[in-house]
Amino acid sequence: MSKFLKRKIIKPVSFIFSFLGLQAMKAVFILLPWNASLKFGMFCTGLAAKLMSKRFKNNMRNIALALPEKSEKEVYHICMDSWRNMGRTAAEFIKCARMSKEKLLEITELRNSAFFDECVKNNRPFILHVGHFPNWEVFGIAISARGVEKAVVAQGLKNPFIDKEIERMRSLYNGRVLSTDNPFFSCVKWLKSGKPLCILSDQNAYKSEVYSKFFGRWCACSPLTPLLSIKLQIPVIPAKLYRENGKFIGEALEPVFPSKDYSQEAVENMIDVLNKFYEDWIKERPADWLWAHNRWKREKNAPQYRQESSHE
């Protein structure tokens, strides 16, 4: 089969069928009551964990290395609960994207928001630093529902139909989505307008050559947050996300202020500080985190890793 045929016919058709499958799955979530929808989502990704056994075992290995105090049984349950949490997170996002603004605000809460609210009121830009914790998608649209004009930085999907639908959901209540393809200047422009930017930092940034230790192992980290913070001299607000008594909680922690002078060392130091927040949150609620992403996929590419290995 020619490359032209694959690119022009086979791939677009497969994208369409994938999109239709997603829409059918969305319809099921929408039709089911709230609790049944969450259970169905958890069942689907729990089943996927069993079918994708190789990936699941690799996730278990990463958990065991990150949390050596956990027994093999505990590691298994953390990993399985994390996979099930993926389905629950998707179901929650789909359901919340269709509910009224009033209901969405009723089931979400932003705590310790004094500094956040002051910045918004005075048009002072800042970066919200969040992770793959429940529910980052709901938190994003809930911030917009509060009347805050914010943007999120998100990696686009290969399937243009699915990508457009997810971007539509993330853009509810006048939210904006900025692509991760060369995002620096679009982020600078947004922040200079005095508006907040939400960045979900990834410890497996496939284009980054900045490496930092995360749970004692080297991983490629996106330098976007520290670059923007230091270059524009704006604070970063870490937002701890979790569920509590039927609500989605976003807890704003004390802001992290940048060093006055830009340097590679300053960038790496801020990455370490922000990664430490992730580590603390994961230790507190390990099953809440998205372990299905292999954060250490490029570990052996780190110059520091090669240097350490050469001395062993």
**Does 47 fall in a domain?**
no
Q: How far apart are CA 255 and CA 174, in angstroms?
A: 25
Q: How far apart are CA 114 and CA 252, in angstroms?
A: 9
**Does 57 fall in a domain?**
no
| Whether residue 310 has pLDDT greater than 90 | no
| Whether residue 1 has pLDDT greater than 80 | no
pLDDT, tens digit, 9 for 90 and up, residues 101-125: 999 999 999 999 999 999 999 999 9
pLDDT, tens digit, 9 for 90 and up, residues 282-297: 999 999 999 999 999 8
For the ranges 58-62, 67-71, 154-158, 229-233, which has the lowest average pLDDT? 154-158
**Does 14 fall in a domain?**
no
**Does 286 fall in a domain?**
yes
**Does 277 fall in a domain?**
yes
Q: How far apart are CA 296 and CA 183, in angstroms?
A: 23
**Does 282 fall in a domain?**
yes
Q: Are 127 and 277 in contact (CB under 8 A)?
A: no
**Does 128 fall in a domain?**
yes
Burial class (CB in 10 A: 0-12, 13-18, 19+), 121: exposed
pTM of the model: 0.91
What number is the average pLDDT over the span 26-39? 96
**Does 170 fall in a domain?**
yes
How many separate domains does the chain show?
1
For the ranges 218-222, 233-237, 266-270, 285-289, which has the lowest average pLDDT? 218-222
Segments forming the whole domain that contains residue 281: 102-310
pLDDT, tens digit, 9 for 90 and up, residues 249-289: 999 999 999 999 999 999 999 999 999 999 999 999 999 99
